[in-house]
Chain A
Amino acid sequence: MSVIAAILGRDLRLALRQGADAATGLVFFIIVATLFTLAIGPEPRILARVAGAVLMVAALLSATLSFDRLFQQDFEDGTLDQLLLAPPPLEWVVLIKCAGHWLTSGLPLVVVAPLLAVFLNLPPATFWVTMAAVLMATPALSMIGAVGAALAVGARRAGVLVAVLVLPLAVPVLIFAVSAIDAAALSAPTQPHLMLLGAVLAATAALAPWAAAAALRQAVT
């Protein structure tokens, strides 16, 4: 238990000490949403129609920026070898590292998502659904990203490669999260979309740590 707490604490300290790291993802998220708005035009009805899509694509791209933080540095400085030898199973270590990644990159997005929803002219009634969708989508993205990052550890141009690997796999998360926000904007029932998103999150939480751990093992040996 203390090992797990130590790993989480280390990851959080590293992310916060290089404070720019965590903040950059957030700023990037806001910039992408702003650029979309500038490209589409200020017409409120059109903005409300695309708001869910813009928010989720921006969140996806912003998460992609920080995936290489998950394992690449640990691989380079040898921490990864230590983690493989650590007492808790590697699957748990991966899950904890995903939690650390989500706390520093996903959680800030959840907090600012309603703010961007205002910018994008979403009706206030949708804010809770928007937050719920981002809240469930971002941890799933962190875990899918962990699989891609673990596969690409030590590769040439790993950053771009992780994006190419991860973005197609994130299609279900994107679709269910956006359809929940869209349904809320149209005052349609949002529950089925959110439940499917929850199902994807649960399946990812069950499978991704195994895949990422297997990838890390074969990367190091």
Chain B
Amino acid sequence: MFHRFANPARFMALANILSPWLTVAATGLLVAGLYFGLLASPPDYQQGETVRIMYVHVPAAWMALFVYVALAGAGGAFLIWRHPLADVFAQAAAPLGAGFTAAALITGSLWGKPMWGTWWVWDARLTSMLILFLLYLGYIALANAFDNRERGARAAALLALVGVINVPIIKFSVDWWNTLHQPASVLKIDGPAIDPSMLLPLFLMAGGMKAYFLAVVILRMRARLLARRVRALRLAAVGG
């Protein structure tokens, strides 16, 4: 038990130093991204003002993928080195990833309505995102399906690895399916080339979301570690 708490302690020391900086970075980048995205960038010549949805939709979709890959990485670290923090991280990150995926889906739908004329088109990207969302839900369900927490952690770690191998295959199959059943779409959701004035808010928002993710993951990890400590103390009290 001793060495299990030693590493979290060192992590917490580091987290306490990083936390305020990450919060400041996230706030700054997001505010700057909002300013450039909503006020200081021109509307697209084809998509008009709706292009501004891109500045939240695309970074959210990037985060959705990034978090899933991070889950797989944490899963590998947990299975190989049995590092308890890897599981704490994965369980803290998974709901955030699902949240980003849901946000990407909803904003994609809000973008699709003026662009395609309907709320939902079985576009290859949206469909893959929907399946990614289902993978997140399965992951969270599996991690919480066992009375033994350790068992759930190991199963979830393996599932993340299986999933991350499958994601490219699923993406390819959905692309294949989509070219067979190509709907008559008004416009591809992201145009051919993006003007630099649009890249700036895009990258600011992407950076801001990443800093936000790290900040909130650290908060959630601290909460989980405290909860574990409380549980251990209560068990010790009961056991004498």
- Asked if A218 is at the interface of the complex by the 8 Å CB criterion, the answer is yes
**A164: which of B138, B155, B174 is its contact (CB, 8 Å)?**
B138
Verify A168–B138 contact, CB threshold 8 A: yes
Q: Closest CB-CB distance, A159 to chain B, in whole Å?
A: 11
Binds B, one of A7-15, A86-94, A146-154: A146-154
B173 / chain A contacts, CB cutoff of 8 Å: 171-172, 175-176, 196, 200
Q: With A151-B155, A152-B155, A175-B174 given, is the CB distance from A164 to B137 under 8 Å?
A: yes
B159 CB within 8 Å of chain A: yes
| With A165-B142, A169-B166, A219-B155 already in contact, 6 other A-B pairs whose C-beta atoms are closer than 8 Å | A158-B145, A171-B131, A172-B169, A200-B173, A207-B165, A218-B79
* 11 A/B residue pairs, CB under 8 Å, sorted by A: A151-B155, A152-B145, A155-B142, A156-B145, A156-B147, A158-B145, A165-B142, A167-B134, A176-B173, A179-B177, A214-B158
**Binary interface profile of A, 158-202, with partner B (CB < 8 Å = 1, else 0)?**
100100110111011001100100100000000000001000100
Whether a CB of chain A sits under 8 angstroms from the CB of B135 is yes
Q: Interface of A with B (CB < 8 Å)?
A: 147, 151-152, 154-158, 161, 164-165, 167-169, 171-172, 175-176, 179, 182, 196, 200, 203, 207, 211, 214-215, 218-219
Q: A165-B159, A168-B134 are in contact. Are A175 and B141 (CB under 8 A)?
A: no
Decide if B145 touches A155 in the complex (CB within 8 Å): yes
Docked-complex contact A168 and B162, CB < 8 angstroms: no
Please give, as numbers and ranges, the residues of chain B lying within 8 Å of A203 by CB-CB distance.
169
B180 within 8 A of A: yes
Q: Which residues of A contact B158 (CB under 8 A)?
A: 151, 211, 214-215, 218
Instruction: Say if the beta carbon of B119 comes within 8 Å of chain A.
Output: no
Q: Is the CB of A171 within 8 A of B170?
A: yes
A176 to B172, CA, bound (A): 11
Once the chains bind, are B176 and A196 in contact (CB under 8 Å)?
yes
Q: Which residue of B lies closest to A199 (CB)?
A: B169
Q: Which residues of B contact A169 (CB under 8 A)?
A: 135, 162-163, 166, 170
Q: Determine if B154 and A218 form an interchain contact, defined as CB atoms under 8 angstroms apart.
A: yes
Partner of A157, one of B145, B159, B166: B145
Report the separation of the CA atoms of residues A203 and B161 in the bound assembly, to the nearest whole angstrom: 15
Contact B138 A165, beta carbon cutoff 8 Å: yes
B165: chain A residues at CB < 8 Å are 207
Tell me, yes or no, whether B228 is within 8 Å of chain A by CB. Answer: no
Set of chain A residues within 8 Å of B135, measured between Cβ atoms: 168-169
User: Contact partner of A154 among B137, B146, B177, B180, CB < 8 A?
Assistant: B146
Instruction: Pick the residue among A156, A167, A207, A218 that contacts B155 (CB under 8 A).
Output: A218
Chain B residues, CB < 8 A from A152: 142, 145, 155
Interface residues of B (CB under 8 A from A): 79, 131, 134-135, 137-138, 141-142, 145-147, 151, 154-155, 158-159, 161-163, 165-166, 169-170, 172-174, 176-177, 180
The interface centre, meaning the residue of B138, B172, B180 with most chain A CB atoms within 10 A of its CB, is: B138
Closest to A196 in B: B176
A175 touches B145 (CB 8 A): no
Is the CB–CB distance between B176 and A161 below 8 Å?
no
Distance of B218 from chain A, by nearest CB (Å):
28
Shortest beta-carbon distance, A88 to chain B, in Å?
Answer: 22
A171 pairs with B174, CB closer than 8 A: yes
Q: How far is the CB of A101 from chain B (nearest CB, A)?
A: 18
Contacts of B170 in A (CB 8 A): 168-169, 171-172
A54-B170 Cα distance, complex, nearest whole Å: 20
Most buried by A among B131, B151, B166: B166
CB distance from B80 to the nearest CB of A (A): 12
B163 and A154 contacting across the interface, CB-CB below 8 Å: no
B161 contact set on A, CB distance < 8 A:
211
Contact present for A151 and B142 (CB under 8 Å): yes
Assembly CA distance A171 to B134 (angstroms)? 11
Q: Please state if A164 and B176 are interface contacts (CB–CB under 8 Å).
A: no
Tell me the nearest residue of chain B to A207, going by C-beta: B165
Query: For residue A157, which residue of chain B has the nearest CB?
Result: B145
Least CB distance, B214 to chain A, in whole angstroms: 27
Residues of B within 8 A of A176 (CB): 173, 176
CA distance A155 to B154 in the complex (A): 12
Of all chain A residues, which has the CB nearest B127?
A171
Closest to A182 in B: B180
